[in-house]
Amino acid sequence: MKAEIGTKPRLDVLEDTSEIMVPPGELGAVLELIVRNKDGVITERQEMLSKSFLKGFMQLWWVMSTFVYGGGQGKWVRDKDGDYRWAITHSQNFNANASTGQTDRGILVGTGTTAPTIDDYQLEAQIAEGTGIGQMQHSAVTFGAPTSDGTISHFTVTRDFSNYSGGSITVREVGLQVYFNFLPGSNEYLLILRDAVNIDIPNGETLTVNYRVQATA
């Protein structure tokens, strides 16, 4: 379903994959940003290839891939606070299933303007939960089921951010943060994606962020 400016479609997950695709033979993500007013009418829509899978993504994937029964490999990773943790294999690694108002995992947004680098471990200026100045309300993260058309396999991670701060907010960065487990049996959060964007959300309007993780044959 393609969303046009001035229309009012269902916006939970947009299924149109025809406009932007990850190049053949690659794993990547398409980032989609949609602003809608209080009546659900789209006022702005942007779509782009995500350019910034981070080092933490590959490190945690390696940890999960090296598991053997009775043990496995660990890896030092830098968590969202900048601390180094010895990440280990765990069934909840990569969990991004954030609930309403939760800001330590799932899709996150911020106002930082520094260009992403592969070593990033946090958003530069993450937007807090709430209705105060500069804050936004975070919905629960939702997931579209994996689908394939013979050439493209993908699934979509979605989150809404509502602005009732009393003023316009410009989102300049978007990221995806996940759960990971580390010795001695504790958990923390790891940023695996960070993208630079530029989109205004007026007071009373809502930003929908879709990360469509995609593999193309």
State residue 195's pLDDT score.
97
Rounded-to-10 torsion of CA 185, 187, 192, 197: -170
Please give the pLDDT value at position 18: 44
Q: Give the pLDDT of residue 69.
A: 58
Name residue 48's amino acid: M
Per-residue pLDDT, 66: 85
pLDDT for the residue 19: 63
Give the pLDDT confidence score for residue 8 in this predicted structure.
Answer: 46
**Closest to 169 in 3D by CA, of 195, 141, 136:** 136
Residues of the chain where predicted confidence (pLDDT) is lower than 70? 1-19, 68-72
Q: What is the model's pLDDT at position 25?
A: 76
pLDDT for res 101: 98
> Are 206 and 163 within 8 A, CB to CB?
yes
- b/e per residue 152-170 (b: at least 16 CB within 10 A): bebebbbbbbbbebeeebe
Q: Check if the beta carbon of residue 201 is closer than 8 Å to that of residue 211.
A: no
Closest CA to 123 of 68, 182, 171, 181: 171
Which pTM was predicted? Answer: 0.88
